[in-house]
Structure 1
């Protein structure tokens, strides 16, 4: 019989939820115990987010790979300036996030919204390894940038719904290259607008047409 214990209150800086074999499934952490980015049992991004002012919950799939999480935090300077943020993300298998909900506030200017992204089938650790190889190569900077751009091809934002720093409520749909093709918004004066764009960002048609 499963033994149960009841506690009225527990203070803990980090809590791991694991399977019987020890495979981690979820971890709750404070700022001093931010977990590394784990995939295939390895930290493939050493130092990633270790100095971020965040706490939260990290999710792991059946293989122990990081597959999303909930993070939140804030930071305030002596002069009164501050930042505050929160995000809930879900990752593609062996890749980065494909669904994201975010909130950011910098000194009272807020942005928040919901994003959908495409990710390539190549595992993220392989991309990170290849990125390091490109950066350490003897090729000129232009050639390096071209290879880096090709490396991240297929990793694009496809949809966004939220509020931007100008106070506009936006719904934007992008093509496979991440270029906005359909944009709907309501501005701070409550004026609605819809725009159809080509792949270069030129407006092909808009409603109402006189704006």
Structure 2
């Protein structure tokens, strides 16, 4: 008699009544591509990463976030380990993420939020590739690529950094940190306010 308590599979797709994939469970040999509008918008993305997990898809079949996790150890015993839970803006990249990364005992983990533009990520990737492969001067090329990715900004982080600081950091619309609240590895607290150039203009406790 077959064991009805477990199912061993390498990939499992959950589909809706129209056959559209809405959730995909996968191992490290079946990492799904980044699908948007029925296309793989980042060919090769994640394909060699040592991860397994599950991917979320919206009603149109676009990737909408997911949970991935994995680890690697080399012949000398060095290791990396990571986990990430993300939720994507419609037709864009993640706007909310819980994440962990560890390397030989140095760990960073926490919660982040991003701003994303209302334009399509697929169109931005296509335009970026066109500029990258163009014959314009490198300085002009980089300036044009920067314009393409305007609006992709890391706005907030709350967590623990590899140096042992527990930190809350709030950034402006350009991604520049403006407020930092820290309890360092020696349990000393401080709070800093910064200007748009990254200079500390006020801190608590004051020096």
Give the TM-score range, shorter chain. Answer: over 0.9
> 2: CA distance between counterparts of 1:158 and 1:148?
21
Q: Which residue of 1 aligns with 2:178?
A: 181
The reply on whether 1:70 has 2:77 as its aligned counterpart is: no
The equivalent residue for 1:106 is 103
Displacement of 1:44: 1.1
Counterpart among 58, 62, 68 of residue 61 in structure 1: 58
- Aligned residue in 1 for 2:76: 79
C-alpha separation between the residues in 1 aligned to 2:43 and 2:4? 36
TM-score by length of 1: 0.96
Q: Unaligned regions of 5+ residues in structure 2, if any?
A: none
Instruction: Tell me how large the CA RMSD over aligned residues is.
Output: 0.8
Q: Which of these residues, 193, 198, 202, is aligned with residue 196 of structure 1?
A: 193
Q: Are 1:138 and 2:162 an aligned pair?
A: no
Question: In 2, distance between residues paired with 1:117 and 1:138?
Answer: 32
Q: Partner of 2:30 in structure 1?
A: 33
TM-score under structure 2 length normalisation: 0.98
The aligned residue for residue 19 of structure 1 is: 16
Q: Give the match for residue 3 of structure 1.
A: none
**Per-residue deviation, 1:122:** 1.0
Q: Among residues 196, 201, 208, which one is paired with 2:205 in the alignment?
A: 208
Structure 1 distance, partners of 2:107, 2:203, is 27
Q: What is the CA distance between 1:21 and its match in structure 2?
A: 1.2
Give how far 1:138 is off. 0.8
User: 1:156 is matched with which residue: 153, 156, 166?
Assistant: 153
SS of equivalent to 2:140: helix
How big is each residue's C-alpha offset from its partner over 1:142-195, in whole Å with a ceiling of 9 and x where there is no partner?
Answer: 001001111111100111001011100000000000000000000011111000
* Structure 1 gap segments, 5+ residues each: 1-5
The aligned length equals: 205
Give the C-alpha shift of residue 7 in structure 1. Answer: 2.2
